[in-house]
A and B are shown apart, each in its own frame.
Chain A
Amino acid sequence: GAVVSQHPSRVICKSGTSVKIECRSLDFQATTMFWYRQFPKQSLMLMATSNEGSKATYEQGVEKDKFLINHASLTLSTLTVTSAHPEDSSFYICSAERGTEAFFGQGTRLTVV
């Protein structure tokens, strides 16, 4: 099956710093990628839709200036959590879709201290 690679898998950062998370589709081109956030024992909440070559579409309540998304190529989307705070600590997961199937990255466990 298709592979989506996400990096890093874990990151610990100080409050006020920024963290960049990369999501790559390894064997197919993805004009659209999706970024989710997941709290323990909860569902995947869609944060934004990343569109290659254009602006991302953010879900209601998600601050676009805090969660910067760049989708500069057909195989790479990045999510930057700017000026991170402890409440941003979470599990972030990206996905790319081929047909009706979504392929997810391994997820990034972000801890802001």
Chain B
Amino acid sequence: GQSLEQPSEVTAVEGAIVQINCTYQTSGFYGLSWYQQHDGGAPTFLSYNALDGLEETGRFSSFLSRSDSYGYLLLQELQMKDSASYFCAVRGNQGGKLIFGQGTELSVKP
């Protein structure tokens, strides 16, 4: 089966940098994705890594190491609006359905 682990909560201050880690176990690997979800809202896509290395999109970056079954989401120059839950997700067998981690609730303080 597939499983993902990520911290349940992270707190940081405005302007800081925060890293949210995700380790996964899958039978077959078809990429690691990250989604953001504000309270009561729909998840929105942030990034996708299929190959090792760092992908940068503005203030957000995502990293993948397939040999370590590990990835992280890096958020820079934190803003209050970044307070949300962040989910890592992997594809199931044969690139099928998305399996989500339990989510990391990020609280950004003034």
Q: Which residues of A contact B (CB under 8 A)?
A: 1, 6, 34, 41-44, 46, 49, 93, 95, 97, 100-107, 109
Contacts and interface: CB of A to CB of B under 8 A. Distances in A.
Nearest to A105: B42
B103 A43 contact: yes
A104 B44 contact: yes
B42 A107 contact: yes
Contacts of B48: 100-101
Nearest to B102: A43
Given A41-B105, A100-B31, A34 B45 contact: no
Contact of B98 (A6, A46, A107): A46
Given A43-B103, A100-B50, A101-B33, 8 more contacts: A41-B105, A43-B87, A43-B100, A93-B42, A100-B48, A102-B35, A104-B43, A107-B41
Interface string B69-110: 000000000000000000100000000111111110100000
Interface of B: 31, 33, 35, 40-45, 48, 50, 87, 96-103, 105
B98 A34 contact: yes
Nearest to A101: B45
Contacts of B35: 102
A43 B43 contact: no
A102 B45 contact: yes
